[in-house]
Structures are given as structure tokens and as C-alpha cells.
Structure 1
Amino acid sequence: MSALKQIKKVSHVIFDMDGVLLDTEIIYKKAIQSIAGRFGKMYTPQIQGKVIGTVERESSRIAVEMMKLPISVDKFQIEFRTTAHQQMHNVAMMPGAEQLVKHLYEHKIPIAVATSSSLASFELKTAKHKAFFALFNHIVCGGSDPEVRKGKPCPDIFLVCAERFKDKPLAEKCLVFEDAPNGVAAALKAGMQVVMIPDENVPAEMLIEAPIKINRLEEAPLELFGLPPLKS
């Protein structure tokens, strides 16, 4: 059965944050490459595809192990956090993010954010965009939320996020916007539908699992899911 035939109408929308709403992935990429470069290692697209979408601790473990870096995961995480957070105070919005979110908000579609960031990291990245993030019903920060026991690609964060909507929708009634293979896998395991906006550094072979892919949020095919279509 084709992906289009499997599509069902949804009532709620969940967004990943990094690489979907905020343009942070380039900052993470530069931070990891700067550490790897000191040891003559390259942060390749294959490794990036594994790292994107994971919580900070898991990102650090994957980077250290896959690049065989001669430092501990603890030391890598501290340096990674310090380097990346120095640039997080001035993060830009991703193209189309404001238009799509405001459109859903104005049509009274329940919306939420499910990010692998910790609450402290979320507050740092969103400092310039408080009015925008106030549009969401709730935010789940998987890096520090005690109810999110396992990070992406496990489904925990999306299941917790759905449970926190007042009307507690069924998983199949939730549409997720993701940029990372780990996030897509997590949403599908949760029983949700997914639209992927692939990060440009993710290898093509890692995008197979995503049933629907778009280049920008302005292209979101909302009408396929029974949602009010975006105005052109």
C-alpha cells in the first residue's frame, strides 16, 4: 500500500524543535567538528545522521564512539555543550516555521513541541522567540523531563507529548514534523504519522523510513491529513 493510501486524518500536531522550528543544527555541526578536528577526525554525514535528534548525552556517546575520539564521553559532552551554547543566544527561525505554526494556532489546531533538548537548553535557544513558543499548548524537553525515560529513536517523548494534550488524542491522530531519522523512527514507533523536512547533511539512504518528505515547512501538505491548507 502506498504512503498516501495509509494517511489518516489528524487532530493534533507535534513539532520537533532543532532543525524544524529553529536553525540550530549548523551550530551543533560546527561544535562537534571543532572537537573532532583536533584529533584529525571528520564528522561525516553518516555520523551526523545518527547524532541528529538525540539527547545531548547520547549525541556525545555516538560522536565519541563512531569517530573513535581519544576522550571520554563526559569530557566531550562538557566541551560540546560549552562550545554550542556560546552561540545559542541568537538562533534564527527555520523558513516557514512561523507561518505554519501561526496558521495552525489560528485554526485552533492543538500544537506542541517535543524536543530532545533539556529545559535549560530550550530556554537558552528560545530566549528571542518567547512569543512564538507561547503559541504551543505545551513543550516537552526530553533531555530533562523525568517522564521521558528513553530518547529518540524510542517513542517515549512523543507518547508523553500526546498524553499532555487536554483531550489525550490517540497516537494515530497526531502528526509529527521531524528533520532527523531518529525522530522519524521515534514518531513511527509511537504510532504517529510523520512529515520529514530532511536535514541537508543526512545521507539519502537514511531517509527511506519517512513516508512523506518536504523541503520546507511552507510545503506542508496539511490537507492530506484533514487540516486547513496553508495559503499560498
Structure 2
Amino acid sequence: MEYKPVTHVLFDMDGLILNTEDLYTVAFQNIISQYGKDYTFELKLKLMGLQTNETANMVISSLDLPITPEEFISQTTQEFQKLFPDTEVLPGARRLIEHLSKKNIPIGLATSSSKESYELKVNRHHKELFSLFPYKTMGSSDPDVKRGKPHPDIFLVAASRFPDKPNPEMCLVFEDAVNGVKAARAAGMQVVMVPDTRVDASLTTEATLVIQSLEEFKPELFGLPPFDD
């Protein structure tokens, strides 16, 4: 696939910068085990990138759970408070974010997480890293983001937060989720995908570039300043 030069970069957070997708799996399984259900990877793929309410509704309907969305959200919040404070940065993420910031490339965060969830994940260990994002869009808390991924809303809103309002085609998105890739493409943006190793290759074809780790990314492919080392 042809790579076109970009001027702005947007990052997903969960499963791309932080290892929180693993923690979501633990949290959700802890809840649905009470009802004799399993949190399968197939269901997880459908949920990745959805907003909080969308996630609750899909889990309940998919597994026929005898609880309300509000009860599910309340239980997940309790799980997250135990798990999220000890998140870890995934390989290559810190180097890339710090590099783009140092080179004055406009970068933004586009996460489906709520503000409260974001703070749980970031505040204990990662405030310095995330302070490098001048523009943050948190889909589950942002009234301007009407629909979760795979709809393009979050990336279009995130791009509009840059002061110079770049055209979508000038934005490069980093994503790990199939729904996130679909959202970026629907927004008219190129997207680099770093998928979970369990994702079938047939589900990654919409991505502009697929890599196994952010450590593999070469910024110059998209007209961005190369790494200094």
C-alpha cells in the first residue's frame, strides 16, 4: 500500500500505548464468571473501541446476563480501580511519542476511555508521558463524540482539536483494534495497526501498515522526521 506524507498524528491508548487490554480481559472475566460465562476473544474484538455504555450493552446482550448496563458499569468500575493503577507502557510507545513531541509534530490522544478511566490508568505512573499530548479526546466522556469506534467520530473530533484544523488525510492514526482501524479509515485517515497476535490477518487488511510492535515503526515512511539513533 502507498504511504502518503502526514503532518499530524493521533494515538489510541488501550492496547497500543498501555497494556490495559489485558487488564480489561481480567476485569470482564471476573464479572461474568459470576454468571457461568466466558469472555472470549471473539467478543473482545467486537468491544474494542466502543464507548462505556456501548460496551455494557453489548456484553449483556451477547452473553444474556441478568444485570442492567448500570450494574455492569458499576462492577467494572470497581474492578478497574484495583487493576488500572499499575498499567505498563508497551514496547516502542514511549520512544515514538517522545520523538514526535521533540520534533514538534502535533500529536493527540484519541481514546474511547472515559476521563475517570484515563486518570486511573495514567495518574500513578504515566503522567509525564501523557503530558506530551497537548490535545486529548476521551470518547466516553466527550459530548462531541456521539458514537464509538468503528464510527469515525472520535478521530474527526480529535483532529478538530488541533489549532490548525488539519484535513483528515494529513493525519496518521496508530491503533491496535479492528474497530479502531475501521474508524480511522472512515475518517479518511491513514492508520498504522499494531494488532494483538490473536487477530486473524484477514481482519487487518484495511490498515495502511501493519506492524507487530511500535518498535518497528519508521516515521520517515509517512514523511515524519526519522529517529535520531
Q: TM-score range by the shorter chain?
A: over 0.9
User: Closer, same or farther in 2 for the Cα pair 1:194/1:10, shift >3 Å?
Assistant: same
Output one character per residue of 1:52-82: Cα deviation in whole Å (capped at 9) or x when no partner: 1211211111111112222222211211121
Amino acid at match of 2:217: A
Query: Which of residues 96, 111, 136 in structure 2 aligns to 1:139?
Result: 136
The whole-number CA distance in structure 1 between the counterparts of 2:48 and 2:192 is: 16
Identify the residue that residue 119 of structure 2 maps to in structure 1: 123
TM-score by length of 1: 0.93
Amino acid at match of 1:199: D
Output one character per residue of 1:102-158: Cα deviation in whole Å (capped at 9) or x when no partner: 111111111010011111111121102111111112111111111111111111111
The whole-number CA distance in structure 2 between the counterparts of 1:144 and 1:190 is: 20
Tell whether 2:228 aligns with 1:228.
no
The 5 Å alignment of 1:69-218 reads 69-127=65-123, 128-218=125-215
Identity of aligned residues (%): 47
Shift in Å at residue 231 of structure 1? 5.0
Q: Secondary structure at the match of 1:8?
A: coil
8 Å contact 1:176–1:194 — kept in the other structure?
Answer: yes
Long gaps (5+) in structure 2? none
Amino acid at match of 1:115: T
Long gaps (5+) in structure 1? none
Q: Secondary structure at the match of 1:87?
A: helix
Amino acid at match of 2:113: S
Amino acid at match of 2:120: L
8 Å contact 2:110–2:158 — kept in the other structure?
Answer: yes
The whole-number CA distance in structure 2 between the counterparts of 1:135 and 1:211 is: 25
The whole-number CA distance in structure 2 between the counterparts of 1:78 and 1:177 is: 30
* RMSD, aligned α-carbons: 1.5
TM-score by length of 2: 0.94
